[in-house]
Amino acid sequence: MNLFSRLYYKFRQYSKAVQLYLVIAGPGIVVMIADNDAGGITTYAATGAKYEYNLLWFLIILGPVAYFVQEMTVRLGAVTKRGHAEAIFDGFGPFWGWFSLIDLMILDWLTLVTEFIGMTSALAIFGVPGWITVTGVCLLMAVVVFNGRYWTWEKITLAFCALNLIYIPGAFMVHPQVSDIVRHGLVPNFPGGFHGELFFFLMANIGTTIAPWMIFFQQSSVVDKGMKEKDIPWGRFDTFVGSIFTVLVAVFIIIVTGTVFHGQDVNDAGQAAKLLMETHHYAGEFMAIGLFDAGLLGAICISLASSWAFGEVFGWAHSLNDKIKEAPWFYAIYFLALISAGLVVLIPGAPLVLITLFVQVVAVTLLPAALVFLILLLNDKETMGDRVNTLSDNIINGSIVAIIIALSTLFGISTLFPNMLK
Amino acid sequence: MSLRHPFSTVITDAVNKVRAINRRYAHPRLAMSKSTLVALLCLRVYLLTLVGLLVYKFVTVVMQ
């Protein structure tokens, strides 16, 4: 009897903890899963197709890297109650503030275009014309934000995050050999030696793991959610769970394309889905649905990152808890970015490939600045109090930031000068 | 009423808003220690180099 009551007590204790987590869960999971956006899915699909399972270990390492960077935004947002854009203005003055805000606006808009490219190419597989996809997405995103509550927006977005896990059953449909995955994927190796093309793929994977909009989005999201200092452990846990999911999705995409394509060149995830459908119909359809969902999640988060940033700096009402009448500029920027990016994809002959490449180049102008500011702000004892970076935080985060800056810069430059590393 | 009037009002309002933001954040709150100044200087050099590369690429593409 005593054993049963103790077990029941433990069960109640854990179920309460899970219930509490489900209430708190949000920004960390959303940002991490949205990190696997349309561009990310293409990168993972191409990596698996080219190198099969051999780079799985590298993706697994990137999980903690993403966690450590995003965890800092949780602390900064919860302590200062300010988004990253406002924190940069406040901490470093107007020069760096405007630089970050304008750069973020350009980069977010270009990335939004790539999300629409992914979504239209995914639904084109099912015969849906581009204009219907763009219109449908804009209407869907209006429904998501128009309810006037952060909580509802977050839970709807979490449902889309759950759909992103569609790649996991998709991987089982192509019947991969678990022994091959373990033997080739979990032991660090560089297939064919360390050469220029492989280095380009490694950098592309890093580039998709940490994006500037993620830093701005999660910090603003933490503030809009109203997280307090006492919620930081839950915010960390949320980010940790999100980092596991982001790696899991990436790993399963690589397993799908690695199992089917064996060293083939794949240019984008839409093409991968079409090729997959020739041999594994449902796995291909799952890939296309996942690509659409990834683009949608990316679009939701990226357009919000811009709206939040502008609202913070210009002093406009900028919360998802506000109705349209209360925060007209916040929603105007959200829809302006969304609709204009969608329309670009519909223009016949628009330079979409150039835009996709340009995203990487613009990202390296903002990412180092955002990361350096993050580290400096987290070291401000006056603001952060007990939540200031410790020495070990600085060693870990500083090393990660230095490596990300170096590799993402090389990636951006090699996008500009493709023959440089070959 | 001509269209020029509301347009110029919008521009004037925007400029005033930007000026107000610049005034509000004119003095960076973060203490500018040596390490902070070095980090910001490195960032400026990094960005200038990157912009230089972008301009170089643009010029070479246009010249072709």
* pLDDT tens digit sequence for A147-183: 778 888 888 999 999 999 999 999 999 888 888 889 8
Q: Which residues of B touch A368 (CB under 8 A)?
A: 43, 46
pLDDT at A408 over 70: yes
Alpha carbon distance B42, A242 (integer Å): 33
Length of chain A: 422
Which residues, 6+ apart, have CB-to-CB distance to A9 below 8 Å?
none
* pLDDT mean over A234-263: 92
| Residue A135 in this model has a pLDDT that exceeds 80 | yes
Mean pLDDT, residues A81-103 taken together: 92
How far is C-alpha A378 from the geometric centre of its chain's CA atoms?
22
State residue A13's pLDDT score: 86
Q: What is the pLDDT of residue A404?
A: 81
Per-residue pLDDT, A247: 94
Determine the residue among B10, B29, B35 to mutate to test chain A binding: the one whose Cβ has the most chain A Cβ atoms within 10 Å.
Answer: B29
Q: What is the DSSP string of A233-249?
A: HHHHHHHHHHHHHHHHH
> Could you give the residue ranges of the DSSP H alpha helices within A174-319?
178-180, 196-209, 212-225, 232-261, 269-279, 281-314
Q: Do B30 and A92 touch (CB under 8 A)?
A: yes
Which one, of A79, A86, A372, A24, lies nearest residue A216 by Cα? A86
Provide, rounded to the nearest whole percent, the portion of chain A with pLDDT above 70: 99
- pLDDT in the model for residue B11: 85
* Cβ neighbours around A345 below 10 Å, total: 23
- The verdict on a CB contact (< 8 Å) between B31 and A380 is yes
Asked if residue B5 has pLDDT above 70, the reply is no
Average pLDDT over chain A, rounded to an integer: 88
Write out chain A residues lying below 8 Å of B32, CB-based.
none
Residues shown for chain B: 64
What pLDDT digit, counting tens, does each position of B11-62 carry? 888 889 999 999 999 988 888 888 888 988 988 888 888 888 878 877 887 7
Looking at beta carbons, which residues of chain A come within 8 Å of B57?
Answer: 416-417
Q: Look at B53 and B1; give whichever has higher pLDDT.
A: B53
Per the CB < 8 Å rule, is A416 touching B54?
Answer: yes
Task: Provide, as residue numbers in chain B, all residues whose Cβ is less than 8 Å from the Cβ of A380.
Answer: 30-31
Query: C-alpha distances in angstroms, A243 versus A68, A129, A166, B3?
Result: 10, 34, 17, 53
Higher pLDDT, A356 or A320: A320
Backbone angles phi, psi at A47, to 5 degrees: -65, -45
